[in-house]
Structure 1
Amino acid sequence: MSTVLKVEHRVGVKAPAEQLWERLADFAYWSHWNPHEAEVEGVLGFGAPLVLTERLPGHPERRASVRLGDWTPHAQLIWHERRGWQFRTTRYFEIEELVPGSCILANGLIVGGLRGEFWFDRHRRGLREAYAGIGENLRRLVEG
């Protein structure tokens, strides 16, 4: 049985969920606020393929082919990647509007599979830093 591991960053955002979603759903604009997952190609659609340039700390730059999982306007965006036979990842953004004009933004990664634990242990610190930066950048952008 394989272990499932998770890293997540949560931040309060003084903006409506619609405003956060506009930036998340605009893949062409990601390079302006997301230095770690840039140059996203694809469109929103259940199971739709996406290709993105991934620049995570401690990793060489790579082109990742992923598949969109669930997405709900103003609430969540999720994609999945199977890294060969070794392990799989689920990357997500979640928006929870607490009161009108104020949200919690979560973004993170879930890793599972045979060798995912070894990969995760090696890169946990860099992933935490990267996802904290992504969340803070998006917060600053929408709060203006």
Structure 2
Amino acid sequence: MRVEHRIGIQAPPEVIWEILYDIEHWADWNPLYVQAKGQVRIGAELELTMVLGDGAPSVIKPVVLEWVPNDQIHWRLKMMGGLVATTRFLEIEQLEGAGCIFSNGEIFGGLLGPTVAKRMGRKVYRGFQAMNEALKARAEAAWHAQGGAPTSAS
């Protein structure tokens, strides 16, 4: 099962990437991951403190599967002894001009993956939505500060 939220951002991929790649500063803007440690490199373990809605913080330690500058970061997380395995994706799709579509999602697999996704799907979606809206605000402000100008559609 897949849970995903997409959002349009009036900033080029490089601006969005700069914010995403700087994991150590996610706590400055990211309502989903309130603390983050690690480096974006294949095989590296990240340590992320995640808060879904009004729930308690939980620490997860996913492993980076793939990253392509200005394009995507994917990581994998195994829980419950491997009965739940998720692949998380953060992807930037460049549009014409300076705009992008940012996709933020997770694919739930493993024996219990679909059950967990059905039980937690709405909360996860809202967490992705909150992260996307915060990323949009930060990226568009950074782009504007660099002399770019968001369109009136932002």
Q: TM-score, normalised by structure 2?
A: 0.86
Q: What secondary structure sits across from 2:26 in the alignment?
A: helix
Structure with max Cα Rg: 2
Q: What secondary structure sits across from 2:52 in the alignment?
A: coil
**1:36 partnered with 2:32:** yes
**1:110 partnered with 2:146:** no
For 1:87-135, what per-residue CA distance to the aligned partner results, in whole angstroms no more than 9, with x for missing partners? 1011111001112311110101110010111111111111111111111
**Greater share of residues in strand:** 1
1:61-80 aligned within 5 A: 61-80=57-76
- 1:58 CA displacement: 6.7
Greater displacement, 14-23 / 27-36: 27-36
Q: Retained in 2: the 8 A contact 1:94–1:107? A: yes
1:11 match: 7
Q: Taking every aligned residue pair, what percent have the same amino acid on both sides?
A: 35
Q: What secondary structure sits across from 1:124 in the alignment?
A: helix
Q: What secondary structure sits across from 2:116 in the alignment?
A: helix
2:53 match: 57
Q: TM-score, normalised by structure 1?
A: 0.92
1:119 match: 116
- 1:138 CA displacement: 0.3
Q: What secondary structure sits across from 1:49 in the alignment?
A: coil
Show structure 1 runs of 5+ residues with no match.
Answer: none
CA change 1:105–1:15 in 2 (3 A) is same
- 1:45 CA displacement: 1.1
CA change 1:58–1:122 in 2 (3 A) is farther
2:145 match: none
Amino acid at match of 2:126: E
1:99 match: 96
- 1:57 CA displacement: 3.0
- 1:31 CA displacement: 0.9
**1:81 partnered with 2:64:** no
Q: What secondary structure sits across from 1:99 in the alignment?
A: coil
Count the aligned residue pairs: 140
RMSD: 1.2
Q: What secondary structure sits across from 1:45 in the alignment?
A: coil
